[in-house]
Amino acid sequence: MALNAIDWTVIVVYLVVVLAIGAAVTAKVTSGQELFLAGRSLGFVAVGLSLFASNISSTTIIGVAGAAYKSGISVAHYELMAALILVFMALFTIPVFLRVRITTIPEYLEKRFGSFVCKYVSALTIFLSIFVDTAGSVYAGVLVIQILMPGVPFLPACIALAAFAGLYTAAGGLRAVVYTDVVQAIVLLVGTGVIAYEVFARFDFSWAQAVASLPADKLSMVRPLDDPQLPWLGVIIGLPVLGFFYWGTNQYIMQRVLGARSLGEARWGAMLAAALKLLPLFLMALPGAFAYSLLPHLDNGDQVFPAMIVHFLPAGLTGLVLAGVIAAIMSTIDSTLNSASTLVMYDFVKVEERGWEPKRVIFYGRLATAFFILIAAFWPLVIRDFPGLFNYIQQVFSYAVPPIAAIFVLALFWPRMTTAGAIASLVFGHGLGVVILAWKIWAQGQGIADGLPHFTIVAGLTTGLCALVAVGVSLAGAPPPPEQVEAQLWRRGDGGRGGAPSGAGVWSDFRWQAAVIVALVAGLIWAFR
């Protein structure tokens, strides 16, 4: 399907707007804090829309629709769990992180456990951000482009996507990332909304007709224990681990929270993002599942979203949806690039301790961004040989994040947790992850079953073991001095209203907003049980 003049106009206008926003804020970048945290001046709308846009990457659009096409809408649990984790963040992690006034999330671990733990987690976060999130988004974007514009070479397209997002990110820093994310979130929602509308139009907007076209299990979110895609036990013990790492301790997500102008703005932003995370069920998972009856002969689930664009959209709307996909690509790439360079400059170079001049910090921060652009442009050559994009993303995280999730939770709530316990948990957890991954690779090479439960169950069980190791080693040693850990612990008062932005009545309290979101998540799971 060739793009017509209207399609190209929509895409070009979108790209020009993004570049204009990046150029407009570049002049404001006069310090490292401005480049990496937008001067800690972000309001809740910018925080919430940027959280949503940064997460809803092209990997999510392509991956969620593809997984729903292949096995049903249980994949939407990842999105609904994110809403619950955002509520948890607003209550527990955000008040602590803003109170201790950190620039990077691993910096919290440095205050709690020392330099080694900080650098270890920071290095792992950089790896996951660039090799998984950024490169995965570039790869997914090129998939769409190649379907809509056959003949576009893979590697040049990867380089172009990574370079474009890197251009305004390096120039304008976090403020450019967040402001462009606001536009990108709107374009993304409209674009995916158009696809969802067109899919349901094929069933004459009849829910009964759409449901009747599919096997019953395609629309079930509660799957058996032996389900190969997402068993119910994995939802309970595994997804909270993956979600807590991603939303609560991941620099590229939390960076816009750290840049909020106040605790209240940060919490309201988290609630806005949580509410928006209810939408992918309707905008991505359900359309992908119903496409199974409309486009039954696709070889790869990752092809379904691009195929829906080609088969269902009338002339003129393709450009809008493609702009939404590009928006998803850019919103993740810009966020991960900015956060990775932040981690390098503050956790490894230690620019504040060195007393560098602002111009020098900005120069080397932009240089680090340029280096990560190169990796993001070429790593998709590896990803395209992995079976299933969403599978790639989630399995890599399931082996990497359990010990990090364990030590963060213990650091926040257990004053007896020691540095030795944190290090032991990290070494044990990642050593176990390497062993499990090696076994899976060997078993696959031998053509035999690995005998392991679903990777979400493995993630949950591994996290529990890591926590036990951390607790055991901590109890075996001397407790840390109370004055060393007290400031980094969650306090009962942290769960209070906490200076909410001005609002009318009871709804200005984020806790009421959180209660509604939790109820909506429970209702959706019950409705699609």
- pLDDT digit string (tens) for 369-378? 888 888 888 8
Examine the pLDDT at 32 and tell me if it is beyond 90: no
Tokens 């800690």 label which residue? 40
Predicted confidence band at 347 (pLDDT cuts at 50, 70, 90)?
A: very high
Examine the pLDDT at 354 and tell me if it is beyond 80: yes
Which has more pLDDT, 203 or 362?
A: 203
What is the structure's pLDDT at 217?
Answer: 87
- Ramachandran bin of 15, using left for φ above 0, alpha for ψ from -120 to 50, beta for the remaining angles: alpha
Examine the pLDDT at 463 and tell me if it is beyond 70: yes
Q: Where are the beta strands (DSSP E) in 210-340?
A: none
- pTM equals 0.90
Examine the pLDDT at 2 and tell me if it is beyond 70: no
Q: Which of 43-57, 163-177, 334-348, 433-447 has the lowest mean pLDDT?
A: 163-177
Task: DSSP letter for 491, please.
Answer: -
Q: How many CA atoms lie within 13 A of 461 on its CB side?
A: 12
What is the structure's pLDDT at 199?
Answer: 94
Counted residue by residue, the chain has a size of 529
Q: What is the mean pLDDT of residues 210-227?
A: 92
Instruction: Please give the structure tokens belonging to residue 250.
Output: 């991941």
Rounded CA-CA distance 262/42 in Å is 8
What residues pair up with 260 in beta bridges, in sequence order? 42
Q: Quick one: what percent of the chain has pLDDT higher than 90?
A: 45
Domains and CATH numbers, the chain: 5-380+389-400+491-497+504-527 (1.20.1730.10)
Predicted confidence band at 87 (pLDDT cuts at 50, 70, 90)?
A: very high
What is the structure's pLDDT at 167?
Answer: 77
pLDDT, mean over the chain? 87
What is the structure's pLDDT at 471?
Answer: 98
Do residues 517 and 507 make contact, with C-beta atoms less than 8 angstroms apart? no
Highest mean pLDDT (candidates 29-38, 171-180, 210-219, 492-501): 210-219
Examine the pLDDT at 417 and tell me if it is beyond 90: yes
CA proximity to 251, closest of 132, 337, 137: 337
Which has more pLDDT, 265 or 494?
A: 265
Write out pLDDT tens, residues 298-331. 887 878 888 888 888 876 778 877 787 777 777 7
What is the structure's pLDDT at 93?
Answer: 94
